[in-house]
């Protein structure tokens, strides 16, 4: 059976980019169809990404905080882990948010078409669903098809003991020995959850630092803090995995490679994500997709075909939900006739690990590579009353200033709540604020946020004596 629908705007994919674009377009009075292959809206982020990982990280944080209390005179005893209940909690969080999206779509009269969509021409997409094929004829399209996990050819991914991030989030059990392959944000977040729940977690990373995009001094603090949590193997790679009945036997190569094979109960492969540009027959609409699967767009988010837009992970790095959301808004507004471009000065990056790692704007490494005339101001949390009172002095706040104008170019924070604090630095970068603006802003005492004002004062020379 074939159904035909005609719409002003079709959005292919309902992740953060897709639902944001669909809702904004509907709010602007356009007639919108949203295509999604899965039964729930929300894409990777809500179903198998940002949200479930944060629900599990919340559980891990409370356990870690409770354990830490022992050194301040309060002992709760050994935590009793009920894995099914933890999984239930995570699913409840996801359900609340994906259900909320369905309600918001209904409220806005966004029509949801369930099934796998592929272009059949420059103004049509065929959606194969449970009830047959629906052809959506459109004036404008927004491709928000997202990304998928990358696998390595020598890893037996069909073995149920080899997990990707989606499998790890299912939290089937807590393995005794777990190897996390890839020391990026996703690997470290999931490694944090499993190590707190009781697994012995090893992390292998090819680069010479964890989270290679972040500055080395920030990652040095993290690496030191987690030395008892993870067995770290930097500058090392996995070259073979031998799946045997009693475990996965891994061979490593590199600077910190252990001799011979090492046995693990489970391996989490977290080596990156690839764009889904090749799954949607974009060529039938005349849309160019590069060999990796990315779709190039203009600052209005237009592809090479004027009435077809693309947003989110499928258009490039950084593959982050908040980038997708903003791109979605721009695409919808441009389609509605508004003048808008996607040209942010900065996009924040956060690892919700313990401690959290957060940065925005230029990093120190980028400032050097770009030959900028910059200066760095560091405020160590050992001098923060709030950090001392929270027994978490390992952190630091770092701001990068233009040496001449004093403008804030970027910044990084490592420490508890770093992710929540980062917004202020992002705002400073976006607004072109300088050190005086930030330093003269009265930050409440005692907060960790004070460290941002203090870093600005260090740049200005008003603070000189730090531990």
Cα distance between residue 144 and residue 330, in whole Å: 13
Supply the minimum distance, in Å, between the C-beta of residue 453 and ligand FAD. 27
Concatenate the DSSP letters of all residues of 210-236 into one string. SSTTS-HHHHHHHHHHTTTTEEEE-SE
The one catalytic residue among 58, 72, 329, 445: 445
Sheet holding 247-254, edge to edge: 236-244, 247-254, 261-264
Concatenate the DSSP letters of all residues of 232-271 into one string. EE-SEEEEEEEEETTEEEEEEEETTPPSSEEEESEEEE-S
Residue 460, classed as helix, strand or coil, is: helix
329 carries an active-site annotation: no
Of 89-97, 144-152, 388-396, 432-440: span binding ligand FAD (CB under 6 A): 144-152
Of 14-22, 77-85, 300-308, 384-392: span binding ligand FAD (CB under 6 A): 14-22
Cα distance between residue 295 and residue 288, in whole Å: 6
Q: Is 146 in the site for ligand FAD (CB under 6 A)?
A: yes
423 marked among binding-site residues: no
Q: Which lies closer to ligand FAD via its Cβ, residue 257 or residue 305?
A: 305
Q: Is 147 in the site for ligand FAD (CB under 6 A)?
A: yes
CB-based contact 399:457 (threshold 8 Å): no
Supply the minimum distance, in Å, between the C-beta of residue 147 and ligand FAD. 5
- CA geometry: angle at 394 spanning 391 and 396, to 5°? 120
Cα distance between residue 162 and residue 269, in whole Å: 7
Instruction: Kindly tell me which residue out of 30, 43, 268, 408 binds ligand FAD, with binding defined by CB under 6 A.
Output: 43
Cα distance between residue 64 and residue 223, in whole Å: 17
321 marked among binding-site residues: yes
Binding to ligand FAD (CB under 6 A) within 247-286 occurs at 276, 279-280
Q: Is 165 in the site for ligand FAD (CB under 6 A)?
A: yes
Most distant CA pair in the chain, distance: 76
Binding to ligand FAD (CB under 6 A) within 318-347 occurs at 319-322, 324
Of 90-98, 139-147, 235-243, 405-413: span binding ligand FAD (CB under 6 A): 139-147
Instruction: Kindly tell me which residue out of 9, 11, 25, 45 binds ligand FAD, with binding defined by CB under 6 A.
Output: 45
172 marked among binding-site residues: no
Preceding amide of 446 cis, omega within 30 = yes
Binding residues for ligand FAD, per CB under 6 A? Answer: 12-18, 35-38, 43-45, 49-50, 53, 116-117, 144-147, 165, 186, 276, 279-280, 312-313, 319-322, 324
Which residues make up each annotated binding site for FAD?
Answer: 54, 117, 313, 319-322
């Amino acid at each position: 059976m074939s159904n035909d629908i005609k719409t002003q705007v079709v959005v292919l994919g309902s992740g953060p980019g897709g639902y944001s674009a669909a809702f904004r377009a509907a709010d602007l009075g356009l007639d919108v169809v949203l295509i999604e292959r899965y039964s729930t809206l929300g894409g990777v982020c809500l179903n198998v990404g940002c949200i479930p990982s944060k629900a599990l990280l919340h559980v891990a944080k409370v356990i870690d905080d409770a354990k830490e209390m022992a050194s301040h005179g309060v002992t709760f005893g050994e935590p009793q882990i009920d894995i099914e209940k933890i999984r239930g909690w995570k699913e409840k969080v996801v359900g609340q948010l994906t259900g909320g999206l369905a309600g918001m779509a209904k409220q806005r009269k966004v029509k949801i078409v369930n099934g796998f969509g592929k272009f059949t021409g420059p103004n049509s997409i065929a959606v194969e669903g449970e009830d047959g094929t629906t052809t959506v004829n459109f004036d404008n399209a927004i491709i928000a098809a997202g990304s998928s996990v990358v696998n390595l050819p020598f890893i037996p991914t069909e073995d149920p003991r080899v997990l990707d991030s989606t499998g790890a989030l299912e939290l089937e059990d807590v393995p005794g020995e777990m190897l996390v392959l890839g020391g990026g944000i996703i690997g470290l977040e999931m490694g944090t959850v499993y190590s707190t729940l009781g697994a012995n977690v090893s992390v292998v990373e090819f680069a010479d630092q964890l989270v290679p995009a972040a500055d080395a001094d920030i990652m040095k603090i993290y690496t030191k803090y987690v030395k008892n949590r993870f067995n770290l193997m930097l500058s090392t790679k996995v070259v073979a995995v031998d799946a045997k009945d009693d475990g996965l036997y891994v061979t490593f190569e590199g600077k910190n490679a252990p001799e011979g094979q090492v046995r693990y109960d489970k391996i989490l492969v977290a080596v990156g994500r690839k764009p889904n540009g090749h799954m949607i027959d974009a060529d039938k609409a005349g849309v160019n997709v590069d060999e990796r699967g990315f779709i190039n767009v203009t600052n209005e988010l237009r592809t090479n075909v004027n009435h077809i837009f693309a947003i989110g992970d499928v258009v490039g790095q950084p593959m982050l939900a908040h980038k997708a959301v903003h791109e979605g808004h721009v695409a919808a507004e441009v389609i509605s006739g508004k003048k808008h471009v996607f040209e942010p000065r900065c996009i924040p990056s956060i690892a919700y690990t313990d401690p959290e790692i957060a940065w925005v704007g230029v990093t120190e490494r980028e400032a050097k590579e770009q030959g900028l005339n910059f200066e760095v101001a560091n405020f160590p949390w050992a001098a923060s009353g709030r950090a001392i009172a929270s027994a978490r002095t390992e952190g630091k706040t770092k701001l990068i200033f233009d040496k001449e104008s004093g403008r804030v170019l970027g910044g990084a924070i490592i420490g508890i709540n770093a992710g929540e604090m980062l917004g202020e630095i992002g705002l400073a970068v976006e607004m072109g604020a300088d050190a005086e603006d930030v330093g003269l802003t009265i930050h409440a005492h005692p907060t960790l946020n004070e460290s941002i004002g203090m870093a600005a004062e260090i740049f200005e020379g008003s603070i000189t004596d730090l531990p």
